């Protein structure tokens, strides 16, 4: 008959055994050490004043009263040390380190993982798509000695690796590699689609396809605008970022050019006179506020283009037209009297 249990090595009470209480108490002491195991610390040196019943994990190079007992559980009891050999897989809570430890069959190791998890929720429920789910006021990813990189990997060029920002579970902004290998920052356009605000090609070229910009002119015969009158625009070579022609300007000479966003704009005004009479052409915001102009010109050479450029602050939905002074005849149209404008911010 075996004298110990097969798994935990607890002593059996044998038939006709004298002083059976000794074996019984040895078994109770062993159970007291191993059940709901709590280690005060894991180390090589015995503590100077252990409490009665306190258990410790013996590390790999034990000294003094723990010599030769690497990997054991050491319990101070009845004025001396008693040892127990754990088996692989035993778990113990270490009070000093505030960390769970697992015995690997040789020694005590800090518990670091529980295998390959199919899903993990931290204060939130994961699902088949969101296999890692976290609900918290903030998340922290920090270095362990020097650098720290967050890596998002996709399978191929046509796939997506991105960060998406939502409100009420609706996507409002996205940044990353969305369907190609060009980095992009996109925003929701309010109709269920997306617009690329900034794109960076693998070559390093940076594009802002929705930056407000336009080149506009009035398709009209050569004319001499009256002093104080306004002329607008009827055509654009291009218009991006929401630039559009609005209502007619007062006097019905073309339409207003409406700013799609509040920004600093670079403007370039060109004017081509066809007579040498005095003139002055200004860019006027809302038809009343001059922001850029040619200055007073008198006797300018006929057909020579006069240009003025500058940076102007314009608010969203404000409109732009040309304001005239003098009596000169001007040539309007593409590459003649026209306005180019692009947002800088």
Burial class (CB in 10 A: 0-12, 13-18, 19+), 135: exposed
Structure tokens at 118: 């199919």
Strands 306-314 and 263-273: antiparallel
pLDDT tens by residue, the chain, 345 residues: 466 654 555 565 656 655 655 555 565 556 656 678 899 999 999 999 999 989 999 999 999 999 999 999 999 988 999 998 999 999 999 999 999 999 999 999 999 877 788 899 999 999 999 999 999 999 999 999 999 999 999 999 999 999 999 999 999 999 999 999 999 999 998 888 999 999 999 999 999 999 999 999 999 889 999 999 999 999 999 899 999 999 999 988 999 999 999 999 999 999 999 999 999 999 999 999 999 999 999 887 899 999 999 999 999 999 999 999 999 999 999 999 999 999 999
CATH number for the domain formed by residue range(s) 213-343 = 2.60.120.40
pTM of the predicted structure, to 2 decimals: 0.67
Domain residue limits, the chain: 36-110, 157-210, 213-343
Residue carrying the six token digits 């070559």: 203
d(CA 335, CA 340): 10
């Amino acid at each position: 008959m075996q004298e110990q249990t097969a798994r935990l090595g607890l002593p059996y009470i044998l038939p006709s055994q004298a002083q059976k209480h000794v074996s019984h108490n040895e078994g109770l002491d062993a159970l007291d050490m191993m059940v709901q195991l709590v280690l005060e610390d894991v180390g090589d040196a015995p503590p100077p004043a252990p409490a009665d019943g306190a258990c410790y994990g013996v590390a790999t190079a034990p000294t003094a009263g723990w010599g030769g007992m690497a990997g054991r559980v050491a319990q101070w009891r009845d004025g001396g040390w008693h040892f127990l050999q754990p088996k692989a897989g035993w778990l113990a809570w270490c009070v000093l380190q505030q960390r769970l430890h697992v015995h690997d069959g040789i020694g005590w190791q800090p518990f670091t993982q529980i295998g390959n998890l199919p899903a993990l929720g931290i204060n939130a429920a994961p699902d088949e798509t969101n296999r890692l789910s976290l609900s918290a006021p903030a998340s922290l990813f920090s270095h362990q000695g020097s650098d720290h990189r967050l890596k998002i990997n996709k399978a191929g060029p046509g796939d997506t690796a991105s960060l998406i920002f939502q409100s009420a579970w609706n996507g409002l902004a996205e940044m990353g590699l969305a369907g190609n290998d060009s980095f992009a920052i996109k925003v929701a356009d309010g109709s269920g689609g997306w617009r690329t605000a900034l794109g960076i090609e693998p070559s390093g070229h940076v594009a802002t396809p929705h930056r407000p910009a336009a080149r506009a002119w009035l398709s009209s015969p050569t004319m001499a605008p009256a002093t104080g009158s306004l002329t607008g625009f009827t055509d654009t070579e291009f218009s991006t970022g929401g630039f559009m022609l609005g209502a007619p300007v007062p006097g019905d000479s073309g339409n207003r050019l409406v700013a799609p966003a509040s920004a600093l704009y670079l403007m370039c005004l060109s004017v081509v006179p066809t007579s040498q009479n005095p003139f002055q052409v200004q860019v006027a915001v809302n038809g009343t506020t001059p922001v850029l102009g040619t200055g007073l010109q008198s006797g300018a050479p006929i057909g020579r283009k006069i240009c003025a450029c500058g940076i102007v602050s314009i608010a969203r939905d404000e409109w732009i037209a040309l304001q005239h002074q003098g009596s000169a005849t001007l040539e309007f149209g593409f590459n003649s009297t026209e306005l180019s404008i692009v947002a800088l911010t």
